Amino acid sequence: MNPEQDPRFFALLVHRGLISAELAQAALGSEDPAGYLIRGGHVTDDSWREWVDTQAGERPSLKRYELGDLIGEGGTARVFEAVDRVEGGTVALKILRTKFCSDPVATGAFVRESKLLMELQHGHIVKGFRVAREGSSIYCAMELVRGDCLQDRLNGGERVEEELALRIVTQVAEALSYLNTHGLVHRDVKPGNIILDGEGRAVLLDLGFAVKTDSGVSAESETTAGTAHYISPEQARGQQDIDVRADIYSLGATLYHLITGSLPFAGGSSEEVMAKQVLEALSGREIRALGLSPQTHYFIEKMMAKDKENRFQDSEDLRSEVSAYLESKEEERRAEDQAATRKKARRGRRLM
């Protein structure tokens, strides 16, 4: 629909405080909403065109970057593919939603996350390039990772094959180890924050909930953070002594979701789901029904233990154990292939 006659566009204008709700209704009730506003002196022709071109400020016109397709969005920001006019190349440009640009708490969190991405250097963590303000827009330019968001796969009804899911776990565990060496806990590991590129590289996104730790104690957050379906019991309780074991739990919940296609705990509200994270035992019914390996079942059970003392105690131990299992599976396949080759050769000699 033409935005000039789209009620959703006018709702956005009202939400941003550019026009009143009454004026929006009157304009939409006319045959020519844009003309109604311009002729009535409520907006200039140039300002109206700017509102349309920038989607009421949600898709700004920037000097350094030429915006392309919208590739992701959340509650506080939208992410566009964009061309860097200065250095060339294509980036992912995360732009803070206009309504938050005047909020010091929201802008502070956005800038903090952006600077953190710029400081970190790891192959399985998205790289940040710069954070800047242009006009009323605040943005962060990041590495553009071309691939599939794992949540999109799940939304499409696609489960992830068991060994691929375990390889993803080893790569994300590497990223968590790196964060841990920098005194950071991610706190929001989930399929929606992992992209798998065309070469099988898993990349962890979104450090918006990441906190610094001091001997495993977070002094920066007093409230529950993360996504209810994946957070650890200690996060659900709102505890402050959060460490890498909380991220290991979330990675276990992610692994469960990837290979079964179902959430480990479901409910009608976030509160209900968080209560289950704390109180209910994890069911192995889905894993058994799909014929998944006992070893994978063990990994999930250990990663998602209610008591963090019973989980993997650091992500390097997790990575090492899962990698060893994957290597053993690969060795089994090589041995089977060699046996099949020898059997075929013997059969060939008998036929000669």
The residues carrying an active-site annotation are 188
Residue 103 and residue 101: Cα distance in Å, rounded?
A: 6
Sorted by sequence, the CB contacts under 8 Å of residue 71 that are 6+ apart come out as 79, 80, 81, 92
Task: List, as one string, the DSSP characters of 175-203.
Answer: HHHHHHHTTEE----SGGGEEEETTS-EE
Q: Left, alpha or beta for 277 (phi > 0: left; psi -120 to 50: alpha)?
A: alpha
Could you give the angle at the alpha carbon of 185 between the alpha carbons of 182 and 186, nearest 5°?
115
Phi and psi at residue 230, to the nearest 5°: -125, -10
Q: Among the residues of the chain, which ranges form H helices?
A: 7-15, 21-28, 33-39, 45-53, 104-119, 150-155, 162-181, 233-236, 244-260, 270-279, 285-289, 294-303, 315-351
Give the 3-state secondary structure of residue 316.
helix
Q: Residues of 305-323 as b/e, b for ≥16 C-beta within 10 angstroms?
A: bbebeebbebbbebbebbb
Q: How far is CA 68 from CA 65, 77, 221, 290, 343, in A?
A: 9, 16, 36, 41, 56
Rounded distance between C-alpha atoms, residue 131 and residue 142, angstroms: 9
Compute the distance between CA of residue 319 and CA of residue 277 in angstroms, rounded to an integer: 24
